[in-house]
Every structure is written in structure tokens, then in C-alpha cells.
Amino acid sequence: MSKLVYEKRGRIAYLTLNRPEAKNAIDPELHELLWQAWEDFRDDDELDLAILGGTGDAFCAGADLKTFIPPWIESATPRKVRDNVATGFGGLTRGLHRIYKPVIAAVNGWALAGGLELALACDIRIASEREMFGSFEARRGYHHGDGGIVRLVNICGAGVALEMLLTAEPIDAQRALQCNMVARVVAHEELMDAAEETARRILRNSQGAVRSAKETILDVIGRPLDDQLRIEALNGYSVADPEETLGLLKRFYDKTDAGRAGSRKNPL
């Protein structure tokens, strides 16, 4: 059985980390499999959205402490470190983070260290009630290097990032919800249904608009206000495809569009 189960069902790609005996820790082989899968997802025009999850009782325990981390400590050269800047952990954290198709994380259990980085690199995180997030690297003598610090600060704020990284203590699903780290917390057995429900809500929309919105959000983070407003205006006023948008507007005018405001007619 592959260490990564990669399936395509309709317009959705499912990527499932499959090393349950190691809490889905990412070794060099799984790292490469993730890169290949994300590249395929990016390039497949039949796919519009991905859901990332894990088998067993963990989402991902991060980098494999026996096979992934020691080579970086023992034999990393300045050239290797520099090259790694373009090839982030698992692909999605850095290097392939500019895939504008939406990615949902279905966090079924522990998301630790690099596993937290993978979850934070997704656009929407839906958590099982059993989920725990943690950054334990400081206990081992290092800290996040693949987007964990950057995304924790951007998503949850410096206070949460400082608490999690400096104490190296985990937080549970409800605390993660309070910190805006996750969008929803659901019963464990309902996790995939909730992720697919969110996926269907995204897929009913114009994918051009969805991808432009994601691109715009990534582009405005950290910029001065005037730059943010300029980028949003440029993207917002140029994204519409005349044929698609005018057709969708006509449905609105004719009151034939499903899911009008205040109604629940639109099937998810």
C-alpha cells in the first residue's frame, strides 16, 4: 500500500497520508509522493479542489524523526539549505503553495510540527473533536522552518504563535476554533462529510472567481493598506468572464438561480 493514497472523484482530489503505524509522519518517500500529487492536482484541469487527510488516529505527526530530520542536522550544506527554500516540506508548505485551487484539511487527529505546517498551508481546516495541534520542535532543539511560524502569526496572531512555540504544548480542537485556526469542529465520525459539504459549497461557485479570491488573499497578506486595496481592485474588476458572469447575472434577474439569499434551494 502506498504511503500516500491519491484518488480523484469527480472534481475533487483526495490526498490521504497513509503511514498510520508512524502517525503519518512524513519520510523522504512520502515527501516526494506529496510533491508529485500536488503537481498532478495543479495541472489536472478536471480537478477543482483537494481534501487532505490522514489514516488512523493522526492527521500527521510531522517529519519522520528517524529518516527526515537527522540528515538535515548531520550533513546539510549551505547549498542544500539554499535549494530547500524552493522546495518546502510536503510541497504545499512552500514551493507549491501558489496552487490557486482550494485545499481543505480534514484534521482527524494529532497535527504536530510539520503536520501542523501542512494543515496551516491548506485554505480551510475542519477539525474532528479529537484533534490536537502542537509545535513540539523546541523540545528537540529546533523550530518550524516550513511556514509554521509565518502562518501561525498570519492566521492566529503573534500571541498564539508565541505561546504554542515557546511552551511546546498542544492545543485542542476547541481552543483551535477560538484562535481561528480551524473553521469548524465536528464530531469525529462526521469529519469527512463536513469536509465534502464545504467542498460542494465551493464547487457550486465560479471557479475563476474562487481562484482569483484565493490569489488575492495570498497577495495582500503583509502589504501596506494602499497596496492591498490596489491589488484587490485590480483583481476584483478584472476577474469576470463576460459570458459566465452575464449568464449568472441573468439567472439572478430571472430569479431562476438556485440558492438565492434567504433560501436553501441550492443543493450542496
The residues annotated as belonging to the active site are: 117, 137
Q: How far is CA 40 from CA 13, 17, 19, 57, 165, in A?
A: 10, 16, 21, 27, 33
Q: Where are the beta strands (DSSP E) in the chain?
A: 4-9, 12-17, 49-54, 58-60, 103-107, 110-112, 124-128, 132-134, 171-172, 184-186
82 is written with which cell numbers?
539554499
Q: How far is CA 84 from CA 75, 78, 81, 221, 258, in A?
A: 14, 10, 5, 23, 47
Contact between residue 51 and residue 196 where contact means Cβ atoms under 8 Å apart: yes
Q: Which residue has cell 508548505?
A: 93
Look at residues 65, 2, 69 and name the one whose alpha carbon lies nearest to residue 36.
2
For residue 262, count CB atoms less than 10 angstroms from its CB and return exposed for 0-12, middle for 13-18, buried for 19 or more. Answer: exposed
235 is written with which cell numbers?
483583481
Look at residues 233, 201, 205 and name the one whose alpha carbon lies nearest to residue 219.
233
- Distance (Å, whole) CA 112 – CA 89: 13
Look at residues 34, 41, 55, 40 and name the one whose alpha carbon lies nearest to residue 12.
41
| β pairing state of 49-54 and 110-112 | unpaired
